[in-house]
């Protein structure tokens, strides 16, 4: 009987380990088969051109069925698209870069803050993995957050711009979602603080 109880307790503990609740908002790491990732660009550098972005990853209105209200953001990490819902059958679609293997997640959050050309303060977890990173960087063209950022819930995750447009469509980030600067600027002006963000795989 004791062995059975311990087994049940262990399963429950493991289940809790995969669910994080922050201020009533839930997100979960995604367990999946590793996929190819792209090399990221170092902070302070700019490379590539958004003009060379493949057509499917360029901002465009699309037919998209959804029961989410207008203004909701739906992120599809496997397809590498972000959808801004405009009606039950229409959305604006943006190509994105997503988290690399081990940094993907799913869940529902809210946009809690918006900033244009934001400063960047890498979180402690990122500094631990990459100790060479700056502890702070002023906003600007070479800043990894790019032209704008939408902050998600009480987490370290953001939807933001990038100084490496060739990484769009790739699994490259530490869990954030990146768009080319022109697209994140467009999204920034269409989305309000408090908007719902649904992240799916």
Which of 116, 76, 99 minimizes the C-alpha distance to 155? 99
148-152 vs 98-99, strand pairing mode: unpaired
> What residues are labeled active site?
160, 176
Q: How do 158-160 and 73-76 pair as beta strands?
A: unpaired
Rounded to an integer, what is the distance from CA 140 to the centroid of its chain?
20
Alpha helix ranges (H) inside the chain:
2-17, 124-129, 181-190
φ and ψ at residue 15, rounded to 5 degrees: -65, -40
Instruction: Give the separation between CA 10 and CA 89, rounded to whole angstroms.
Output: 44
Give the three-class secondary structure for 96: coil
The beta strands (E) that lie in 38-192 are given as 60-63, 73-76, 81-87, 90-95, 98-99, 105-116, 148-152, 158-160, 171-173, 177-178
């Amino acid at each position: 009987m004791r062995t059975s109880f311990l087994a049940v307790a262990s399963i429950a503990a493991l289940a809790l380990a995969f669910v994080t609740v922050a201020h009533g908002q839930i997100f979960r790491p995604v367990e999946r088969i590793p996929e190819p990732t792209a090399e990221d660009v170092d902070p302070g550098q700019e490379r590539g051109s958004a003009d060379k972005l493949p057509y499917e990853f360029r901002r465009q209105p699309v037919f998209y069925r959804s029961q989410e209200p207008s203004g909701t953001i739906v992120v599809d990490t496997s397809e590498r698209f972000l959808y801004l819902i405009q009606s039950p059958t229409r959305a604006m679609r943006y190509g994105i870069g997503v988290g690399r293997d081990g940094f993907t997640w799913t869940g529902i959050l809210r946009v809690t803050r918006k900033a244009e050309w934001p400063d960047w303060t890498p979180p402690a977890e990122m500094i631990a993995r990459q100790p060479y990173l700056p502890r702070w960087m002023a906003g600007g063209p070479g800043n990894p957050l790019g032209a704008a950022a939408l902050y998600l819930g009480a987490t370290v995750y953001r939807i933001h711009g990038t100084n490496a447009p060739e990484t769009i469509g790739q699994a490259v980030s530490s869990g954030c979602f990146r768009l080319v600067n022109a697209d994140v600027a467009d999204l920034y002006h269409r989305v309000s603080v408090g908007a719902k963000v649904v992240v799916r795989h």
